[in-house]
């Protein structure tokens, strides 16, 4: 049985760029939403003339698509992910665009008939509506409210003021106000299990917004308590929340 120090040292050294969680195989599990987001996107992309994937991470979702539209662009703000996406996608003719959070998308109005995103950081509904053609579709899987909060609150304590962040009803209202018509909205709560403390270190290094000041040394005592919990109970259980959003661009006046 591997020691606490061995587990956290390995997880602290592994590369966390990109958005592939394959390193967690055998260390953690997470239920998948029933709608099969990747399959939905794979059906829609070949029907599009021009598509845009927002917050693409390392480009993994687009890379696994068997067929792409004539024009395919992606955006990403974290530099290591931008480079990862370029290596993965540019050989397939995908335009990889580095962006800054909060800034307007560097694309003209009505340039895309499909915009997708898996787990966008903070959807800018006005920009999404602006770059879509009239009748164009936004299809995305969002992180829902209080996702993985069992793990987050284990490290930082209760966060009642953030439990309603990413509420799908509020997001839907914001989308409608920006000029989109929401045609499908589904939510699900999925069970997560972590089987060793290294899985937590890896997740907190990759999902840096969960515990923004996380380092192994700063939270060593908390990691030790988590390690002991897993050894006693066999795993640490949390729950992710996911929302499927499909919206259409209302015709401009």
Alpha helices (H) along the chain: 4-13, 37-44, 60-63, 79-89, 125-131, 149-156, 168-177, 197-206, 220-233
CA torsion sign for 3, 200, 214, 161 is negative
Q: What is the pLDDT of residues 12-62, one digit of tens each?
A: 999 998 778 999 999 999 999 999 999 999 999 999 999 999 999 999 999
| Beta-ladder partners of 239 | 191
Nearest to 91 by CA among 114, 63, 54, 52: 63
Domain that includes residue 189, residue range: 4-249
- Determine contact, residues 126/178, Cβ cutoff 8 Å: yes
- The pTM for the full model equals 0.90
pLDDT for residue 110: 98
Q: What is the pLDDT of residues 170-187, one digit of tens each?
A: 999 999 999 999 999 999
Query: Would you give the distance in Å from CA 219 to the centre of its chain?
Result: 24
pLDDT for residue 20: 83
Q: How many domains does the chain fold into?
A: 1
In the chain, what is the straight-line distance between the N-terminal and C-terminal CA atoms, in Å?
66
Q: What is the pLDDT of residues 222-247, one digit of tens each?
A: 999 999 999 999 999 999 999 999 99
Q: Work out the mean pLDDT of the chain and round it to a whole number.
A: 96
pLDDT for residue 17: 83
pLDDT for residue 19: 79
**In CATH, what number is assigned to the domain containing residue 84?**
3.40.50.150
The total number of residues shown for the chain amounts to 253
- Determine contact, residues 110/132, Cβ cutoff 8 Å: yes
Nearest to 211 by CA among 226, 225, 201: 201
Q: What is the pLDDT of residues 146-164, one digit of tens each?
A: 999 999 999 999 999 888 8
């Amino acid at each position: 049985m591997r020691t606490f120090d061995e587990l956290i040292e390995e997880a602290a050294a592994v590369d966390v760029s990109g958005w592939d969680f394959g390193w967690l195989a055998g260390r953690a599990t997470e239920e998948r939403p029933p709608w099969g987001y990747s399959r939905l996107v794979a059906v829609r992309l070949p029907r599009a003339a021009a598509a845009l994937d927002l917050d693409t991470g390392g480009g993994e979702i687009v890379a696994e698509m068997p067929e792409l539209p004539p024009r395919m662009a992606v955006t990403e703000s974290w530099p290591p992910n931008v480079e990862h996406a370029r290596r993965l996608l540019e050989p397939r003719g995908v335009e990889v665009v580095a962006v800054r959070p909060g800034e307007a998308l560097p694309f003209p109005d009505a340039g895309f008939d499909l915009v997708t995103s898996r787990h966008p950081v903070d959807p800018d509904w006005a920009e999404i509506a602006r770059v879509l053609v009239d009748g164009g579709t936004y299809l995305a899987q969002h992180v829902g409210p209080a996702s993985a909060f069992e793990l987050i609150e284990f490290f930082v304590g209760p966060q009642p003021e953030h439990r309603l962040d990413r509420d799908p009803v509020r997001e839907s209202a914001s989308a409608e106000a920006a000029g989109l018509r929401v045609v499908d909205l589904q939510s699900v709560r999925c069970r997560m299990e972590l089987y060793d403390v290294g899985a937590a270190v890896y997740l907190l290094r990759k999902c840096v917004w969960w515990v923004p000041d996380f380092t192994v040394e700063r939270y060593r005592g908390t990691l030790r308590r988590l390690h002991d919990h897993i050894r006693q109970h066999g795993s640490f259980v949390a729950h992710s929340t996911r929302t499927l959003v499909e919206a259409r661009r209302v015709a401009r006046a």
